[in-house]
Structure 1
Amino acid sequence: MVWLSCALAAIAGLLFGMDIGVISGALPFITDEFEISTAMEGWIVGSMMFGAAIGACGASWVSKSLGRKKALLLSALLFFAGALVAVVAWNPSILVVARILLGLAVGVASFTAPLYLSEVAPERIRGTTISFYQLMVTVGILAAFVSNLAFSYIESWRWMFGVLMIPAGMLFVGVMMVPNSPRWLASQDRFGEAREVLTKLRSSQVEVDYEMKEIEQSIEEEDKNQGWALFRSNSNFRRSVLLGIGLQIVQQFTGMNVMMYFAPRIFEMSGFQGTEAQLWSTVVVGLVNVLATFIAIGFVDRLGRKPILYIGFAVMAAGMAVLSGILAIGPTTTFLQYTAMTALLVFVTGFAMSAGPLIWTLCAEIQPLRGRDFGIGCSTVANWVANMMIGTFFLTMLDALGGPMTFGLLAIVNLAFIVFTLLLVPETKGISLERIERNLMRGEALRDIGR
């Protein structure tokens, strides 16, 4: 039942990834059909992130009031509606509306799915299950890239969006079959139902009794205040919220989503000419993204969160530094073109094995129960606001600074994130959510709350 719950919830990750990946292939054809400017290209890309930020805000209320399960059902309906509007869009403004609807869906899903997974999975595999969600995000990106390539031969960007309706329907049907979160049920004083669900999710009655005791104790020890009131009154909770916000900003400023949204443009800068060659290259990027995520799944609950983050940021910095250098020289030979592509793939590997899955894992783990919806909501909104800024203004920055300086700055930023991880990020491997919460509320340093 645990794995069924995780697999079906992770379909939300598939849709999340497809929505990220679809625009890179559709944008060149949209630009040609509507004859839009670079600025409008940025708004079509960025509008999805605007919707996602709003969706994440609304998801906090829906998830807290109605439950994680109903929030996931809502995201499925929004995905379907957004894809349908995109298919029939007759001008760029309607396409922006469709992207906002898809963004609302992504915001709800990106908030709710990691939260749901963190609450239904046993602590010994919690990191693995949330990383599995991120794997589905990468599979979705790859699926979108393959779909983009297939429909590029008939130059149909509308069908690129239309395929999103298929997994949206699958998500709706699948989530109907899974149980609600036992921690959410307990937070609503539905302890009997919480115990029944835990009995289905755990392998022994001993585990059920222990976890129910931990959950009940956590609720009893918590301040009566919740959400915003808890944020105002409790400085320890403020620390975890601000750390979650910082982690999501870090994830976005690695530059990964820039590669997803504008991959064809970056490959064009690297010397790959023609839409077909550029889209084939994006498929390779998507495949590497999927395969590298297995590194995180395999090692997140063995090595821990922080060692993998150190390695990932270092690898990303190296990839961006090499790409910057080649663009400064000029990719004038086939060797330099493929070296630039390799550098980009190295960067993607570093992200997919580290910051991609582990940031979502950590943000789901560090928030106390009565403030978890609020805390994860704040960090998810921060993710999408930062994402919107990057998606909307990246092309403008690229035109102003040029490729070598832009990617060189990304290399420096990723090195700085190693220091951020060292000083502020806790190691949460194998530690129950309740113990992390107790350490936080006792005032332990943020990097020590996983002890």
Structure 2
Amino acid sequence: MQEMEPAVRSRVKRGFLWRVSLIAGLGGLLYGFDMGIIAAALIYVRSTFALSTQMEEAVVSVVLVGAMLGAISGGMIADRIGRRATLVCGGAIFVLGSVLAPWSPNVGALIFARGLLGIAIGFTSVTAPVYVSELAPPQSRGMLIGLYQFALTLGIALADLTGYWLAGQHAWRLMFGIGAVPAVFFLLMVMTVPESPRWLYAQNRIDEAEAVLKTYTDQAGALLLLEDIRVSLLTTMERRWSVLWSPAVRGSLLTAVGFTVLQQVTGINTIIYYGPRIFSLAGIASDKSAIFATFLVAIMNVLATVIALVLVDRVGRKPLLYVGVGGMTISLFVLSYAFHNEANLASSLGLVATACLMVYITCFAFSMGPIAWILASEVFPLRVRGRGIAAASLGSGISNFIVSLTFLSLINAAGNAMTFAIYGVFCILTLVFVRFVVPETKGRELESISSKPAAVAP
């Protein structure tokens, strides 16, 4: 497919694209809130239900089991009933899980409710980036897709702020219940957005696709974009999972799944889920102070994601990855060294840990955080994009599940210093992967990226 002509670019109504992207991004906010709220709530859930270490890990990681199920089914559902309808389904499940969690009479009921929230996360994490990528022009696609990651980081920060606000009352039920408010808002708002014109055209609903295009460009622009979609859909939409392993798609699969797995095994979600516990290990005794330190880290996550949104379509994906992952590597090894010399640092360890984790999450937020999902939504051909995004989300979910399920046990078995050193080694492997596998996709049309996924620039 040819690059979008400058005349068409100028006729695109940016306000419409921003509105749609922000509404889709609300799914990311719910993702972040429901993932992040467990960091504070777990302190009080643990005492309410007298949880063992293994049950704590189960309460945290069950969301990821649901997310994997949602990712697997969400890709298929998005290809069958449409991107918008799948987002509506995700919104409804978010509401249900957010209502059930605070009313849990026992840990089993809480695990069930958080599993539902995970399914909703899987639906939206698969569908929202694809939906936005199929509406956005290439020169701003990275920033608009990145809004999903920004909303996710904002959701985490709001969760930590909620936890800090309610920590004095030990009100973990209210912490979970507040999530119902954005869930209802997301469900109502997503009903107001149109279906993806690319998906409509693929279903032979050409008049509807043209009508959607006319909502954000004029008649001439709509016809040009419609022709681009027609050319890109000359091949049939694939519904077989096996096609992802075909020679034409295998490189895209390696890039997307490999990178989303590395995104998780570098340890990012240990901070999101267990932040207060990490700060407690570093000598911050007060629960409320540990939650506040986690909130400060989350704020850096939000601010750095804004940097990514501004730079990702200007300087490119790979330069941000080199700088960001390099900073993550250094901060993790410094943190490991600090824990190794815990006796010498004494009361300073808490400050060192806070500084290291703030640097770590800042570097993650302007690099791996948004770029993992930008790449996943860009590298696959349209005919397998739903399946491809689902595979990337599944890989992310499995690796996230393993990390979250083993973090406390790894701390107990290997110690604090060795645990963070292991995550640092995975950061080094990520730099190698970026250099030799990840392509630069800045400013390229979706179909030109997927036709040459192995074109790797330094």
For the criterion TM > 0.5, the same-fold answer is: yes
Partner of 2:374: 361
Letter in 2 for 1:307: P
Task: Give a deviation string over 1:237-296, Cα, whole Å, max 9, x none.
Answer: 122123211111011012111110000111011111110110111110111110010110
Which residue of structure 2 lines up, in the alignment, with residue 240 of structure 1? 252
- Kindly report which structure 2 residues correspond to 1:199-348, keeping only aligned pairs within 5 A, or say none: 199-202=214-217, 204-220=218-234, 222=235, 225-228=238-241, 230-231=243-244, 234-330=246-342, 332-348=345-361
Identify which of 32, 38, 59 aligns with 2:53: 38
Deviation at 1:60, TM superposition (A): 1.0
Q: Report the counterpart of residue 117 of structure 1 in structure 2.
A: 132
Q: Which amino acid aligns with 1:213?
A: E
Q: Corresponding residue for 1:19?
A: 34
- C-alpha spacing 1:225/1:86, structure 2 compared with 1 (3 Å): closer
**1:139 matched residue in structure 2:** 154
Amino acid at match of 1:308: L
Q: Which residue of 1 aligns with 2:392?
A: 379
* Structure 1 residue 415, shift from structure 2 partner: 1.6
1:84 aligns with 2:99: yes
Partner of 1:436: 449
Contact between 1:227 and 1:370, CA under 8 Å: does it hold in 2? no
Equivalent-residue separation in structure 2 for 1:276 and 1:229 (angstroms): 49
Unpaired stretches in structure 2, ≥5 consecutive residues: 1-15
Counterpart for residue 64 of structure 1: 79
Output the CA distance in 2 between the equivalents of 1:417 and 1:298: 23
Per-residue deviation, residues 73-118 of structure 1 (Å, max 9, x unmatched): 1111111111111111111111110110010011111111111111
Give the Cα separation in 2 of the matches to 1:350 and 1:415: 14
Deviations along 1:365-404, whole A, 9 cap, x unmatched?
0010110111111111111111111111111111111010
The amino acid of 1:410's aligned partner reads Y
Q: TM-score, normalised by structure 1?
A: 0.95
Q: Does the 8 Å CA contact 1:313/1:350 hold for their aligned counterparts?
A: yes
Task: Give the drift of 1:438.
Answer: 3.1
Deviating runs (4+, > 6 A) in structure 1?
none
Instruction: Answer whether contact 2:237 2:384 (CA < 8 A) is retained.
Output: no
Partner Cα distance (2:367, 2:44) in 1: 33
CA contact (8 A) 1:259 1:266 kept: yes
Cα contact 1:264–1:279 (8 A) shared by 2: yes
Secondary structure of the equivalent of 2:374? helix
Name the aligned partner's letter for residue 400 of structure 1.
A
Distance apart, 1:161 and its partner CA = 0.5
Alpha-carbon offset, residue 25 of structure 1: 0.4
Rate the CA distance shift 1:143–1:219 in 2: closer, same or farther, 3 A.
same
After TM superposition, give the deviation of residue 227 of structure 1 in Å.
3.5
Partner of 1:399: 412
Aligned residue pairs total 442
Amino acid aligned to 1:369: L
8 A Cα contact 2:339 2:349, kept in partner: no
Query: How many angstroms apart in 2 are the aligned matches of 1:53 and 1:207?
Result: 39
Q: What stretches of structure 1 of length at least 5 have no aligned partner?
A: none
How has the CA–CA distance of structure 1 residues 288 and 224 changed in structure 2, closer, same or farther, with 3 Å as cutoff?
A: closer
Identity percentage of aligned residues: 36
Counterpart CA distance in 1 for 2:295 and 2:193 is 33
C-alpha spacing 1:270/1:412, structure 2 compared with 1 (3 Å): same
> 1:422 corresponds to which residue?
435
TM-score (norm 2): 0.94
> CA-atom RMSD, angstroms?
1.5
How far did residue 62 of structure 1 move? Answer: 1.4
User: Which stretch shifts more, 159-168 or 239-248?
Assistant: 239-248
Structure-2 residue corresponding to 1:198: 213
Residue 424 of structure 2: aligned partner:
411
Q: Is the 8 A contact 1:199 1:208 kept in 2?
A: yes
Conservation of the 8 A alpha-carbon contact between 1:55 and 1:108: yes
- Residue 189 of structure 1: SS of its match in structure 2? coil
Alpha-carbon distance between aligned partners in 2 of 1:227 and 1:308, rounded to the nearest angstrom: 34
1:205 Cα offset (Å): 4.6
CA shift at 1:208, angstroms? 2.9
CA distance in 2, matches of 1:63, 1:83: 23
